Structure 1
């Protein structure tokens, strides 16, 4: 497992600590979860967008084929 060190402005660090405390986790756990969620989204967003475009233009694609 890799370790990353980041610097946050004091206001962002304070907000992170507050949100983590409200969620009952450490700031590190909050960041880890958020990053995991973010890293899985791009593929899901692309798949959703592609399915939408294909569905919306199905008839056009059929005529062009």
Structure 2
């Protein structure tokens, strides 16, 4: 499996951590799931 590193602001990290915690899942699982959803349902609205 490949890995990537992404720089995000502290505020973005805190928001993502809060969403993951509210959902009862790890941050890694949250991000992996959202990426899988995005790849499964691409949209032409992305700019």
Q: What CA RMSD, in Å, does the superposition of the two structures yield over aligned residues?
A: 1.4
Which structure has the bigger radius of gyration?
Answer: 1
Greater percentage in helix:
1
Query: For structure 1, which runs of at least 5 residues remain unmatched after alignment?
Result: 47-65
Give the alignment's TM-score, normalised by structure 1: 0.62
**Unpaired runs of at least 5, structure 2:** none
Instruction: Normalising by structure 2, report the TM-score.
Output: 0.84
